[in-house]
Amino acid sequence: MKRKTVQAEKDSYPSRPYRWLMAVSTAHFIVTYNQDKNTLLIMTQLNYWLAMAVSIVVAILMINAVTLTSKELDKLYNWEVFPLKRIVLQMLFGLLLPLIIDVLLIWAFFAFFGHDFWSSRFMKQELKLILVLLIALNMLYFAIYYKSALNRHKQEAAVKIPASLGKKKLAIAPEEIAYAYRQDHYGYIICKSGHSFHTDCSIEKLKTLLPATKFIQTRRHMIVSLDAIQSYEPYGNGQGKIFMRCATDNGFNEIITREFFPAFKQRMLALLATVD
Protein backbone atom coordinates (compact mmCIF):
# COMPACT_ATOMS: atom_id res chain seq x y z
CA MET A 1 0.00 0.00 0.00
CA LYS A 2 1.86 3.06 -1.23
CA ARG A 3 1.41 6.38 0.46
CA LYS A 4 2.20 9.82 -0.86
CA THR A 5 5.17 11.24 1.02
CA VAL A 6 6.58 14.72 1.24
CA GLN A 7 9.77 14.35 -0.75
CA ALA A 8 11.56 15.89 -3.66
CA GLU A 9 9.67 15.27 -6.88
CA LYS A 10 10.78 12.29 -8.92
CA ASP A 11 12.74 14.37 -11.43
CA SER A 12 13.91 17.14 -9.07
CA TYR A 13 17.29 15.64 -8.32
CA PRO A 14 19.84 15.72 -11.18
CA SER A 15 19.08 13.12 -13.84
CA ARG A 16 21.67 10.58 -14.99
CA PRO A 17 23.17 12.76 -17.79
CA TYR A 18 23.57 15.67 -15.39
CA ARG A 19 25.15 13.42 -12.78
CA TRP A 20 27.70 12.23 -15.36
CA LEU A 21 28.39 15.85 -16.30
CA MET A 22 28.88 16.64 -12.62
CA ALA A 23 31.23 13.65 -12.27
CA VAL A 24 33.39 14.64 -15.26
CA SER A 25 33.56 18.29 -14.14
CA THR A 26 34.41 17.29 -10.57
CA ALA A 27 37.06 14.81 -11.72
CA HIS A 28 38.72 17.40 -13.95
CA PHE A 29 38.68 19.98 -11.17
CA ILE A 30 40.26 17.60 -8.66
CA VAL A 31 42.92 16.29 -11.07
CA THR A 32 44.01 19.80 -12.13
CA TYR A 33 43.52 21.46 -8.74
CA ASN A 34 46.55 23.41 -7.50
CA GLN A 35 48.76 22.20 -10.35
CA ASP A 36 51.74 24.33 -11.40
CA LYS A 37 51.47 23.42 -15.08
CA ASN A 38 49.06 24.92 -17.60
CA THR A 39 45.77 23.01 -17.76
CA LEU A 40 45.98 22.48 -21.52
CA LEU A 41 49.49 21.12 -21.12
CA ILE A 42 48.34 18.77 -18.36
CA MET A 43 45.59 17.46 -20.62
CA THR A 44 48.16 16.33 -23.20
CA GLN A 45 49.76 13.95 -20.71
CA LEU A 46 48.82 10.29 -20.31
CA ASN A 47 48.79 10.57 -16.51
CA TYR A 48 46.00 13.13 -16.74
CA TRP A 49 43.71 10.77 -18.65
CA LEU A 50 44.52 7.85 -16.38
CA ALA A 51 43.75 9.98 -13.33
CA MET A 52 40.58 11.26 -15.02
CA ALA A 53 39.35 7.74 -15.74
CA VAL A 54 39.74 6.73 -12.11
CA SER A 55 38.38 10.02 -10.77
CA ILE A 56 35.28 9.90 -12.99
CA VAL A 57 34.43 6.39 -11.82
CA VAL A 58 34.89 7.38 -8.18
CA ALA A 59 32.98 10.65 -8.64
CA ILE A 60 29.94 9.04 -10.28
CA LEU A 61 29.82 6.38 -7.57
CA MET A 62 29.86 9.07 -4.88
CA ILE A 63 27.27 11.26 -6.62
CA ASN A 64 24.99 8.27 -7.18
CA ALA A 65 25.43 7.25 -3.54
CA VAL A 66 24.32 10.70 -2.36
CA THR A 67 21.43 10.71 -4.85
CA LEU A 68 20.20 7.25 -3.84
CA THR A 69 20.60 8.08 -0.15
CA SER A 70 18.63 11.31 -0.52
CA LYS A 71 15.80 9.66 -2.47
CA GLU A 72 15.44 6.76 -0.03
CA LEU A 73 15.63 8.99 3.05
CA ASP A 74 13.04 11.31 1.51
CA LYS A 75 10.66 8.33 1.50
CA LEU A 76 11.52 6.98 4.95
CA TYR A 77 12.70 9.98 7.01
CA ASN A 78 11.85 13.21 5.23
CA TRP A 79 13.27 16.48 6.50
CA GLU A 80 9.97 17.87 7.76
CA VAL A 81 8.76 14.94 9.84
CA PHE A 82 12.09 13.55 11.09
CA PRO A 83 14.56 16.49 11.04
CA LEU A 84 17.00 15.29 13.72
CA LYS A 85 17.07 11.67 12.56
CA ARG A 86 17.39 12.83 8.95
CA ILE A 87 20.42 15.00 9.74
CA VAL A 88 22.19 12.04 11.37
CA LEU A 89 21.30 9.59 8.59
CA GLN A 90 22.19 12.08 5.85
CA MET A 91 25.60 12.65 7.43
CA LEU A 92 26.20 8.91 7.79
CA PHE A 93 25.01 7.73 4.38
CA GLY A 94 25.22 10.90 2.31
CA LEU A 95 28.56 12.19 3.57
CA LEU A 96 30.60 9.70 5.59
CA LEU A 97 29.84 6.57 3.52
CA PRO A 98 30.68 8.15 0.12
CA LEU A 99 33.87 9.57 1.62
CA ILE A 100 34.88 6.11 2.89
CA ILE A 101 34.10 4.62 -0.53
CA ASP A 102 36.28 7.25 -2.15
CA VAL A 103 39.22 6.61 0.19
CA LEU A 104 39.02 2.83 -0.27
CA LEU A 105 38.87 3.05 -4.06
CA ILE A 106 41.79 5.46 -4.30
CA TRP A 107 43.77 3.35 -1.82
CA ALA A 108 43.14 0.29 -4.01
CA PHE A 109 44.29 2.25 -7.06
CA PHE A 110 47.53 3.29 -5.35
CA ALA A 111 48.12 -0.22 -4.02
CA PHE A 112 47.65 -1.71 -7.50
CA PHE A 113 50.34 0.54 -8.96
CA GLY A 114 52.61 0.22 -5.90
CA HIS A 115 52.45 3.90 -4.91
CA ASP A 116 52.55 5.31 -1.38
CA PHE A 117 48.96 6.20 -0.52
CA TRP A 118 49.50 7.96 2.82
CA SER A 119 52.01 10.51 1.52
CA SER A 120 50.18 11.05 -1.77
CA ARG A 121 48.68 14.27 -3.10
CA PHE A 122 45.29 12.69 -2.52
CA MET A 123 45.77 12.56 1.24
CA LYS A 124 47.49 15.95 1.47
CA GLN A 125 45.13 18.00 -0.70
CA GLU A 126 42.40 16.16 -2.55
CA LEU A 127 40.68 14.48 0.40
CA LYS A 128 39.85 17.82 2.04
CA LEU A 129 38.62 19.15 -1.29
CA ILE A 130 36.43 16.09 -1.84
CA LEU A 131 34.93 16.51 1.65
CA VAL A 132 34.01 20.12 0.82
CA LEU A 133 32.47 19.04 -2.50
CA LEU A 134 30.45 16.30 -0.76
CA ILE A 135 29.13 18.80 1.77
CA ALA A 136 28.21 21.14 -1.10
CA LEU A 137 26.40 18.31 -2.92
CA ASN A 138 24.37 17.42 0.18
CA MET A 139 23.48 21.08 0.65
CA LEU A 140 22.40 21.27 -3.00
CA TYR A 141 20.15 18.24 -2.55
CA PHE A 142 18.68 19.73 0.61
CA ALA A 143 17.92 22.94 -1.31
CA ILE A 144 16.24 20.87 -4.04
CA TYR A 145 14.14 19.09 -1.40
CA TYR A 146 13.22 22.38 0.28
CA LYS A 147 12.14 23.98 -3.01
CA SER A 148 10.09 20.89 -3.87
CA ALA A 149 8.47 20.95 -0.42
CA LEU A 150 7.51 24.62 -0.84
CA ASN A 151 5.91 23.85 -4.19
CA ARG A 152 4.04 20.92 -2.65
CA HIS A 153 2.76 23.05 0.23
CA LYS A 154 1.42 25.60 -2.26
CA GLN A 155 -0.41 22.81 -4.07
CA GLU A 156 -1.74 21.36 -0.81
CA ALA A 157 -3.02 24.77 0.28
CA ALA A 158 -5.19 24.85 -2.83
CA VAL A 159 -6.58 21.34 -2.28
CA LYS A 160 -10.16 21.00 -1.11
CA ILE A 161 -11.84 17.71 -0.25
CA PRO A 162 -15.17 17.15 -2.05
CA ALA A 163 -18.00 16.47 0.39
CA SER A 164 -21.73 16.84 0.72
CA LEU A 165 -24.39 17.61 3.32
CA GLY A 166 -27.68 16.31 2.02
CA LYS A 167 -27.93 17.62 -1.55
CA LYS A 168 -25.53 20.47 -0.89
CA LYS A 169 -22.06 20.05 -2.42
CA LEU A 170 -19.12 21.35 -0.36
CA ALA A 171 -15.35 21.60 -0.49
CA ILE A 172 -13.54 21.15 2.83
CA ALA A 173 -10.02 22.37 3.57
CA PRO A 174 -7.69 19.66 4.97
CA GLU A 175 -6.91 21.72 8.08
CA GLU A 176 -10.60 21.57 9.07
CA ILE A 177 -10.68 17.76 9.09
CA ALA A 178 -10.22 15.76 12.31
CA TYR A 179 -10.62 12.33 10.73
CA ALA A 180 -12.28 10.49 7.87
CA TYR A 181 -13.47 6.93 7.49
CA ARG A 182 -15.54 4.59 5.35
CA GLN A 183 -18.30 2.40 6.71
CA ASP A 184 -20.83 0.25 4.86
CA HIS A 185 -19.66 1.64 1.49
CA TYR A 186 -20.16 5.25 2.63
CA GLY A 187 -17.46 7.81 3.31
CA TYR A 188 -17.57 10.26 6.22
CA ILE A 189 -15.54 13.34 7.08
CA ILE A 190 -15.63 14.62 10.66
CA CYS A 191 -14.35 18.15 11.16
CA LYS A 192 -12.62 19.51 14.24
CA SER A 193 -15.69 21.67 14.76
CA GLY A 194 -17.75 18.48 15.16
CA HIS A 195 -19.62 18.82 11.87
CA SER A 196 -20.04 15.64 9.83
CA PHE A 197 -20.14 15.33 6.04
CA HIS A 198 -20.41 12.60 3.45
CA THR A 199 -17.70 12.07 0.85
CA ASP A 200 -17.41 9.81 -2.16
CA CYS A 201 -13.61 9.68 -1.79
CA SER A 202 -12.03 6.38 -0.87
CA ILE A 203 -9.35 6.26 1.82
CA GLU A 204 -6.76 5.79 -0.92
CA LYS A 205 -8.04 8.90 -2.68
CA LEU A 206 -8.01 10.89 0.57
CA LYS A 207 -4.40 9.83 1.16
CA THR A 208 -3.43 11.41 -2.14
CA LEU A 209 -5.32 14.63 -1.38
CA LEU A 210 -4.48 15.17 2.30
CA PRO A 211 -0.99 16.36 3.36
CA ALA A 212 1.05 13.30 4.34
CA THR A 213 2.84 15.27 7.08
CA LYS A 214 -0.46 16.13 8.79
CA PHE A 215 -2.50 12.95 8.47
CA ILE A 216 -1.87 9.31 9.30
CA GLN A 217 -3.79 6.11 8.69
CA THR A 218 -4.83 4.20 11.80
CA ARG A 219 -6.98 1.49 10.21
CA ARG A 220 -7.66 0.27 6.70
CA HIS A 221 -10.74 2.49 6.51
CA MET A 222 -9.72 5.43 8.71
CA ILE A 223 -7.32 8.35 8.40
CA VAL A 224 -6.74 10.85 11.23
CA SER A 225 -5.30 14.35 11.51
CA LEU A 226 -2.22 14.44 13.74
CA ASP A 227 -3.38 17.80 15.10
CA ALA A 228 -6.60 16.21 16.34
CA ILE A 229 -4.85 13.53 18.40
CA GLN A 230 -4.44 14.34 22.08
CA SER A 231 -2.51 11.20 23.08
CA TYR A 232 -2.16 7.49 22.47
CA GLU A 233 -1.23 4.35 24.35
CA PRO A 234 -0.40 0.70 23.55
CA TYR A 235 -3.51 -1.45 23.61
CA GLY A 236 -2.02 -4.95 23.60
CA ASN A 237 -1.53 -7.49 20.85
CA GLY A 238 0.55 -5.00 18.86
CA GLN A 239 -2.28 -2.47 18.68
CA GLY A 240 -2.70 1.07 19.98
CA LYS A 241 -5.44 3.36 21.17
CA ILE A 242 -5.82 7.06 20.40
CA PHE A 243 -7.56 9.81 22.34
CA MET A 244 -8.90 12.72 20.32
CA ARG A 245 -8.99 16.42 21.17
CA CYS A 246 -12.40 16.82 19.55
CA ALA A 247 -15.74 15.06 19.84
CA THR A 248 -16.16 11.87 17.81
CA ASP A 249 -19.15 10.21 16.18
CA ASN A 250 -20.39 6.63 16.47
CA GLY A 251 -18.32 5.56 13.47
CA PHE A 252 -15.01 6.49 15.08
CA ASN A 253 -12.82 3.57 16.14
CA GLU A 254 -10.05 4.54 18.55
CA ILE A 255 -8.11 1.29 18.07
CA ILE A 256 -5.01 1.46 15.85
CA THR A 257 -4.61 -1.92 14.21
CA ARG A 258 -1.36 -3.90 14.23
CA GLU A 259 -0.87 -3.13 10.55
CA PHE A 260 -0.60 0.60 11.19
CA PHE A 261 0.52 0.96 14.82
CA PRO A 262 4.32 0.69 14.24
CA ALA A 263 4.28 3.54 11.68
CA PHE A 264 1.89 5.54 13.87
CA LYS A 265 4.12 5.16 16.93
CA GLN A 266 7.19 6.20 14.94
CA ARG A 267 5.44 9.32 13.67
CA MET A 268 4.26 10.32 17.13
CA LEU A 269 7.71 9.82 18.66
CA ALA A 270 9.20 11.95 15.90
CA LEU A 271 6.68 14.71 16.60
CA LEU A 272 7.44 14.60 20.32
CA ALA A 273 11.16 14.86 19.52
CA THR A 274 10.61 18.02 17.48
CA VAL A 275 8.56 19.55 20.31
CA ASP A 276 11.27 18.75 22.87
Task: Based on the fold, state whether residues 76 and 56 are members of the same structural domain.
Answer: yes
Task: Based on the fold, state whether residues 49 and 149 are members of the same structural domain.
Answer: yes
Q: Which stretch of DSSP H or E encloses residue 174?
A: none
Task: Based on the fold, state whether residues 126 and 189 are members of the same structural domain.
Answer: no
> Does residue 84 fall inside a structural domain?
yes
> Does residue 176 fall inside a structural domain?
yes
Decide which of 156, 171, 204 is a domain's last residue. Answer: 156
Per the structure, the count of domains in the chain is 2
CATH of residue 231: 2.40.50.40
Task: Based on the fold, state whether residues 133 and 173 are members of the same structural domain.
Answer: no
Task: Based on the fold, state whether residues 61 and 190 are members of the same structural domain.
Answer: no
Task: Based on the fold, state whether residues 165 and 145 are members of the same structural domain.
Answer: no
Decide which of 156, 177, 204 is a domain's last residue. Answer: 156
Surface-to-core class of residue 62, CB atoms within 10 Å of its CB (0-12 exposed, 13-18 middle, 19+ buried): buried
Task: Based on the fold, state whether residues 207 and 109 are members of the same structural domain.
Answer: no
Give the C-alpha distances (Å, rounded to integers) separating 147 from 30, 89, 140, 142, 261. Answer: 29, 21, 11, 9, 31
Predicted model pTM:
0.61
> Does residue 237 fall inside a structural domain?
yes
Q: How far apart are CA 92 and CA 87, in angstroms?
A: 9
Task: Based on the fold, state whether residues 214 and 265 are members of the same structural domain.
Answer: yes
> Does residue 11 fall inside a structural domain?
no
Q: How far apart are CA 102 and CA 94, in angstroms?
A: 12
Segments of the chain assigned E as strands: 161-165, 168-172, 177-183, 186-191, 196-199, 215-219, 222-225, 229-236, 239-244, 255-256
Q: Which domain holds residue 67?
A: 16-156
> Does residue 100 fall inside a structural domain?
yes
pLDDT of residue 275: 56
- CA-closest candidate to residue 249, choices 186, 205, 206, 204: 186
Per-residue pLDDT in tens (0 to 9) along the chain, 276 residues: 333 344 454 548 999 999 999 999 998 988 888 777 777 888 888 888 988 888 899 999 999 999 999 999 998 888 887 889 999 999 999 999 999 989 998 899 888 888 888 888 888 888 898 999 999 999 999 999 999 888 877 776 677 899 999 888 988 989 899 999 999 889 999 999 889 999 999 999 999 889 888 899 999 999 999 989 999 999 988 999 999 988 888 889 899 999 999 999 988 887 776 655
Task: Based on the fold, state whether residues 118 and 169 are members of the same structural domain.
Answer: no
Decide which of 137, 156, 175 is a domain's last residue. Answer: 156
3-state DSSP call for residue 235? Answer: strand
> Does residue 43 fall inside a structural domain?
yes
Q: How far apart are CA 201 and CA 177, in angstroms?
A: 14
Task: Based on the fold, state whether residues 27 and 129 are members of the same structural domain.
Answer: yes
Classify residue 181 by its DSSP letter.
Answer: E
Task: Based on the fold, state whether residues 188 and 202 are members of the same structural domain.
Answer: yes
Classify each residue of 64-97 as buried b or exposed e, where b means 16 or more C-beta atoms within 10 Å of its C-beta: ebbbebbbebbeebbbbbbeebbeebbeebbbee
Task: Based on the fold, state whether residues 68 and 148 are members of the same structural domain.
Answer: yes
